[in-house]
Structure 1
Amino acid sequence: MYPVHSPVVISPRYSVCAALVAVMLWSVAPLLAELARETSPLQLTALTLLAGALATLPLSRRVNVAACRPRWQVSVWLGLPLLIVGAVSSYYIGMRLAPAAEAALITYTWPVLFVLLSQWSRFGRLHIASVTGALIAFSGAAILLLPQALNGGFGGAASGYGLALLAACCWALYSWLGQVAPIPLTPLLPRLLMIACAVATCASLIVEGTFTMPQGEALFAGIALGLGPYGIAMVAWDKALRFGQASLVGSLAYGVPILAALLLVLAGVSVFDWRLPTAALLVVVGCLKASR
């Protein structure tokens, strides 16, 4: 879930196909997370990151991180794994506490946050189009949350929505670090995921007390999450943006919220409501507006 920009255009058809693979895999992530509800969130995070590290091994190659300044070495080997753990675990916990479709939509506002952070760091100010896009995207989330607020409160769902927003912030910050880092991060992805897996495992032992291997459907869903959305999708997205036109390929990612919500409704996990497609459409429009 991070942008890699390249001016090289080799095969538009190849890049679009690779981007569509990534989009489809990211869209199925909320449904797979629902299938693994029996597994505790931190254990599921560790399993997902382990499978993702194995799936991204073809990307691995030597990068001289030691040549960077000390602050960048700390950011790469500590900051990035912590952001990955924060993003994945917050996403899983948020979907347990709040309705899955709504939590997923809030998490998928991360591209807007990334655009705002990127512009502020580069220019010291925000463009009107970016601010407008952010307002449109978050108005979609407001449509989902407003009825509950008017009815007297959110209950436990408020924490779920907050964690979903935290996951979005983690992905946005991770993407921004990937953009400004003095070294390419893609070849380091397998090692970063392994470090993140170790952190999640330790956190599970401390917070949850025990670490037991998931069984049956939950085990399959956890492995599929790592191999797909956090493994193959990462590889496909890297290839799409490396060999394609970044603006064209990047716009395809904004279809993820709509596809994710549709899959949850078709699977019977979420109930169809006019607010859900409306919110998804606003998130997509807001992302497109902010990225122009």
Structure 2
Amino acid sequence: MNRTIPTLVGFSAILTWSFLALLSTAAGPIPPFQLAAMTFLLGGSVGAASWIVRPSAIKSLRQPWQVWAIGTAGLCIYHCAYFFAIQSAPPVEVSLIAYLWPLLIVVFAAFLPGERLKPHHIAGVVLGLAGAIVVITKGGSVGLADGVKPGHVIALFCAFVWSGYSVLSRRFGQVPTDVVAVYCLITAAVALTLHLTLETTVWPQTPTQWSAIAILGVIPLGAGFYAWDYGCKHGDIMI
């Protein structure tokens, strides 16, 4: 199978995620778990809506428990943690740290069957890490603008979670992307439970905040996830 198109599809997901921090900030001071519940409900609904015209896709949801465990844990843990991190540390710094996951994917993917770490992969990892350090430190000494905050540590945790989820998804390449809709809906349910247990509900106050949440759910946390799943399973994951 030609990997070019799936790789480009996967890359399109990264483009949508470049707006994640901006939209999360524009959504206002919505509690992290509440924001995750709202956006993942929208993201899951995007995929589930397609089953109306593709009823046969529902049959593909019969999958081993490992598929559901990895998918749900990857989406739920990463994004609940990310939304929390972005509200407890500077969004730009959080995003840069969390987005070390592509570098980790290159390293972890080397352990997949048929993949191996090549010199240009290593060079890319080193250059990417160096670039992230330069941007975070603004060219100064190694350190963060206002010291290390919990959000920075959580952002690093996010990088490991998402890279692990992405690489493990490759091992289930035969599983159709329709399962991602269920991942999102389960994640929304988990996030809602955590929100009702731990947080106080805060509704968006302006049309801009509502719009940011809607776009966040439909594009980065909706279409972006489906594109990423397809790209990871069928494209060149090392790229």
TM-score range, shorter chain: 0.7 to 0.9
For residue 37 of structure 1, report the CA deviation from its aligned partner: 3.0
- State yes or no: 1:169 paired with 2:169: no
Write the distance in 1 (CA, Å) between the matches of 2:118 and 2:216. Answer: 36
Write the distance in 1 (CA, Å) between the matches of 2:134 and 2:3. Answer: 40
Judging changes above 3 Å, is the alpha-carbon distance between structure 1 residues 182 and 22 closer, same or farther for their aligned structure 2 residues? closer
Amino acid at match of 2:129: F
Amino acid at match of 2:27: A
Judging changes above 3 Å, is the alpha-carbon distance between structure 1 residues 7 and 168 closer, same or farther for their aligned structure 2 residues? same
Between Structure 1 and Structure 2, which shows a larger proportion of helix residues?
1
Write the distance in 2 (CA, Å) between the matches of 1:102 and 1:24. Answer: 18
Aligned to 1:7: 2
Q: How many residues align?
A: 232
- State yes or no: 1:133 paired with 2:124: yes
Amino acid at match of 1:214: P
Is the 1:62–1:187 Cα contact (8 Å) retained in structure 2? no
Write the distance in 2 (CA, Å) between the matches of 1:29 and 1:37. Answer: 13
Judging changes above 3 Å, is the alpha-carbon distance between structure 1 residues 114 and 211 closer, same or farther for their aligned structure 2 residues? same
Write the distance in 2 (CA, Å) between the matches of 1:239 and 1:150. Answer: 40
Aligned to 2:54: none
Instruction: Tell me the SS of whatever aligns to 1:186.
Output: coil
Amino acid at match of 2:172: A
Write the distance in 1 (CA, Å) between the matches of 2:100 and 2:37. Answer: 24
Mark the runs of 5 or more structure 2 residues left unpaired by the alignment. 52-56
Judging changes above 3 Å, is the alpha-carbon distance between structure 1 residues 153 and 206 closer, same or farther for their aligned structure 2 residues? same
Mark the runs of 5 or more structure 1 residues left unpaired by the alignment. 1-5, 251-290
Amino acid at match of 2:198: V
Is the 2:98–2:158 Cα contact (8 Å) retained in structure 1? yes
Q: How many percent identity over aligned positions?
A: 25
Amino acid at match of 2:59: R
Q: Equivalent residues in 2 for 1:141-152 (5 A)?
A: 141-146=132-137, 150=141
Aligned to 1:62: 59
Judging changes above 3 Å, is the alpha-carbon distance between structure 1 residues 158 and 142 closer, same or farther for their aligned structure 2 residues? farther
- State yes or no: 1:44 paired with 2:35: yes
Aligned to 2:97: 106
For residue 49 of structure 1, report the CA deviation from its aligned partner: 0.6
Q: Equivalent residues in 2 for 1:1-292 (5 A)?
A: 6-7=1-2, 22-57=13-48, 58=50, 60-63=57-60, 65=62, 68=64, 73=65, 75-122=66-113, 126-146=117-137, 150=141, 155=146, 157-181=148-172, 183-208=174-199, 210-216=200-206, 217-236=208-227, 246-247=235-236, 291=238
Write the distance in 2 (CA, Å) between the matches of 1:193 and 1:47. Answer: 10
Judging changes above 3 Å, is the alpha-carbon distance between structure 1 residues 33 and 157 closer, same or farther for their aligned structure 2 residues? farther
Amino acid at match of 2:36: T
Judging changes above 3 Å, is the alpha-carbon distance between structure 1 residues 113 and 153 closer, same or farther for their aligned structure 2 residues? closer
RMSD: 3.5
- The C-alpha deviation readout for 1:221-267, integer Å capped at 9, x for no partner, is 1221110101123345567789xx945xx7xxxxxxxxxxxxxxxxx
Write the distance in 2 (CA, Å) between the matches of 1:125 and 1:8. Answer: 17
Write the distance in 2 (CA, Å) between the matches of 1:164 and 1:241. Answer: 22
For residue 168 of structure 1, report the CA deviation from its aligned partner: 1.8
Instruction: Tell me the SS of whatever aligns to 1:190.
Output: helix
Amino acid at match of 1:101: V
Amino acid at match of 1:55: V
Is the 2:68–2:183 Cα contact (8 Å) retained in structure 1? yes
When the two structures are superposed, what TM-score results if normalisation uses the length of structure 1? 0.66
Is the 1:63–1:183 Cα contact (8 Å) retained in structure 2? no
Amino acid at match of 1:187: D
When the two structures are superposed, what TM-score results if normalisation uses the length of structure 2? 0.78
Instruction: Tell me the SS of whatever aligns to 2:58.
Output: coil
For residue 50 of structure 1, report the CA deviation from its aligned partner: 0.5
Amino acid at match of 1:62: K
